[in-house]
Amino acid sequence: MNTSTETIREMSAGESRSANRLTILWVIVILALAPILVLLGMTLRGAQGNLLPALNAERFYSILTLHGLGMVGLWFVAGMAGVCALLRGYVRLRIWVNWLAFLGTLIGVVMLIVATLIGKYGAGWYFLYPLSITSAGVWEEWVTYTFLSAIAVLGVVWTIWCLDVTWGIARRYSLSSALSWHYITGKGDKVVPPIVLITTVCMIACLTGLVSAVVMLVLYALELAGMTQVSDALLMKNLVFLFGHILVNVTLYLGVAMLYELLPEYTGRPWKNNRLVAVAWNAVLVLVVFAYFHHLYMDFVQIRWLHVIGQITSYASAIPAAVMTIFGTLALVWRAKTHWSMASLLLYCGVLGWTIGGIGALIDSTIMVNVQFHNSLWVPGHFHTYFLMGVVLMILGGAFHLCDKLSGIPENIERSRLCTGLICVGGYGFVMMFYLGGAFSIPRRYAQYTELISTGTTLALVALIFITMLLIGLIIYIWETGRRCALALKSNR
């Protein structure tokens, strides 16, 4: 049995070279797109700070759409690429699927850029039905088609990618052992690394979300083809949020999967799977899907108990993954001779941002609070914390780790500390202005603030100072990781 599993994960030298090359290409794409998307975010804040009077509201919303979808998509694929690179130590994945995902993602991104920056598509990241098809003349019909096709291309290649990862895991582990049920029952002794468990949870959840996106796209297609006259607006909204909620959560967990695999290399202590870890991540799989009901609070026509389930599972879903990960991280680092490098610093700080952002999310998922905070700047406040300061830092840490190993360039730790410091101070200052905006009842997604809510303008201006710090930190990171990538790519041929 064991020998057959060994052969499954063995790769030929050529295959392993190709896999490494692709991982480096993913990192290069991420390093190229991240600062552009940050600059777009900075433009939004600049407009809200009244610094860009020439930027009209239509442009603002098309930039908002590209920034939001671009960022969510970028870090999802970055998480997938990172996890695939690490998972190859245990299971065999098909390289061509990864290439398909790479090329499909690039095509989808180009289509998104065309639809938003050229076609002025500006319905926001969740393109609330029926905004896409009732543009009131802001964008033309071809733009709607380009946008929905972009989402379809991304949806299809990502579904194939998730299926391949699931299939790769299934060839070595049965579903029950990949989900580590034998750790819970105590029957069986097959060793399952946490990254396999967490990735399995992610893939099952993600495929659920992707199916929801497909159903929504089919409904759009039927309507655009004239086969239906109108779709149920609430159904469309619920479908897009099921997709969005799951995609965002899965992205966070992909970052955490990388953390479980990589942090032990720096602390010298293993992060093993056990009964508690297994219970926690199985609970996450169930709870994360039901926590989605917190996106239904405002739709009072829906059944009341859905709201109650949303409230309870939102709280409950936070506990297992967060507690296991926070205690796990602390146990790994506490009194250990941790080797603090750019990678371990970023991974560690990522856990912090993930936790703080998670608390911000929990506060917002409380129905009584949500009534006040709904669609205020609190919302971008919490999701930028767990995204930017959480999963993005974990992925940047992971990317540095991979390129550092492949290139072998010695690290200047002072520069790494400066870089991490700038990113953290800049990043927390930036999100703080969103939280303060929420506390002052400033609505989100306003291109400019009226006199009544002019505090929003001041907060946007202060945010710009912090974003600049973050950007400088990011540029140092890109320089450090980029030259490692370039060397790794050269020596890999």
- Residue from 18, 35, 124, 290 touching ligand HEM (CB under 6 A): that is 124
Total interface residues for ligand HEM by CB under 6 A = 24
| Contacts of the segment 435-438: beta carbons below 8 A, 24+ positions apart | 435/360, 435/377, 435/378, 435/381, 435/382, 436/377, 437/376, 437/377, 437/378, 437/381, 438/373, 438/376, 438/377, 438/378, 438/379, 438/381
245 binds, among Cu ion, ligand HEM, none (CB under 5 to 8 A by kind): Cu ion
Q: Which is nearer to Cu ion, 59 or 294 (CB)?
A: 294
Distance in Å from the first CA to the final CA of the chain: 35
Residues forming contacts to Cu ion in the complex (CB under 5 A) are 245
Does position 380 interact with ligand HEM (CB under 6 A)? The reply is: yes
Q: Which residues pair with residue 443 across a beta bridge?
A: 376
Min separation Cβ 280 and Cu ion, Å: 19
Does position 72 interact with ligand HEM (CB under 6 A)? The reply is: yes
Does position 120 interact with ligand HEM (CB under 6 A)? The reply is: no
Which listed range, 201-209, 252-260, 379-387, 399-407, lies at the site for ligand HEM (CB under 6 A)? 379-387
Q: What CA–CA distance (Å, rounded) separates 282 from 324?
A: 12
Which listed range, 35-43, 51-59, 256-264, 397-405, lies at the site for ligand HEM (CB under 6 A)? 35-43
Binding mask 440-459 for ligand HEM (x = CB under 6 A): ----xx--------------
> Which residue, 130, 366, 382, 114, is CA-closest to 235?
130
Q: Which residues pair with residue 376 across a beta bridge?
A: 443
Which listed range, 10-18, 42-50, 133-141, 176-184, lies at the site for ligand HEM (CB under 6 A)? 42-50
Tokens of 81: 């690429």
Does position 31 interact with ligand HEM (CB under 6 A)? The reply is: no
467 binds, among ligand HEM, Cu ion, none (CB under 5 to 8 A by kind): ligand HEM
Burial of 14 (0-12, 13-18, 19+ CB in 10 A): exposed
Q: What CA–CA distance (Å, rounded) separates 416 from 395?
A: 15
DSSP 335: T
Q: Which is nearer to Cu ion, 314 or 325 (CB)?
A: 314
Alpha carbon distances (Å) from 298 to 126, 203, 373: 16, 29, 12
Min separation Cβ 301 and ligand HEM, Å: 24
Whether the upstream peptide bond of residue 130 has omega within 30° of 0, thus cis, is yes
Q: What CA–CA distance (Å, rounded) separates 114 from 93?
A: 32
255 binds, among ligand HEM, Cu ion, none (CB under 5 to 8 A by kind): none
72 binds, among Cu ion, ligand HEM, none (CB under 5 to 8 A by kind): ligand HEM
Does position 467 interact with ligand HEM (CB under 6 A)? The reply is: yes
Min separation Cβ 483 and ligand HEM, Å: 23
- Residue from 470, 476, 485, 488 touching ligand HEM (CB under 6 A): that is 470
Alpha carbon distances (Å) from 185 to 198, 350, 412, 472: 18, 32, 47, 50
- Residue from 33, 94, 125, 315 touching ligand HEM (CB under 6 A): that is 125
Min separation Cβ 24 and ligand HEM, Å: 22
| Rg of the chain over all Cα atoms, to the nearest angstrom | 22
Q: Which is nearer to ligand HEM, 67 or 382 (CB)?
A: 67
- Residue from 24, 30, 31, 38 touching ligand HEM (CB under 6 A): that is 38
Does position 382 interact with ligand HEM (CB under 6 A)? The reply is: no
